[in-house]
Amino acid sequence: MADALARLWAKFLPEIEARVALIEAAAAALTSGSLPDGQREAAHGAAHKLAGTLGTFGLQRGTELAREAEDFLAIRREAGEAGVLAEWAAGLKAEIASRG
């Protein structure tokens, strides 16, 4: 079972990393003062998918961070709020790296 899970992790890792990159890009855009609705919605969808996927691989903290990002991205935000989204994205990267 562990081997199968490791193969699945390797298969989905590029997609997982791409989803985190969408959240990071949204945080950067918000920091600069402009997070277009389409980009916010894409990052919201990425966070939603990460919340489910990371739990499958035993990354409960990653699931929690992704849910926080998902809730945050559900509505328009101000530039001053971007720091927390960037922190969650960094936390997601760390959780993913810890999985190896």
pLDDT per position as a tens digit, 54-71: 998 999 999 999 999 999
Report the chain's mean pLDDT, rounded to a whole number: 94
Tell me how many helices (H) and strands (E) the chain has: 4, 0
* pTM of the predicted structure, to 2 decimals: 0.93
Q: Which residue has the tokens 């490791």?
A: 6
Res 1: pLDDT: 76
pLDDT tens for the chain, 100 residues long, are 788 888 999 999 999 999 999 999 999 999 998 899 999 999 999 999 999 999 989 999 999 999 999 999 999 888 889 999 999 999 999 999 998 6
Res 82: pLDDT: 92
- Rounded CA-CA distance 62/89 in Å is 10
8 Å CB contact between 30 and 77:
yes
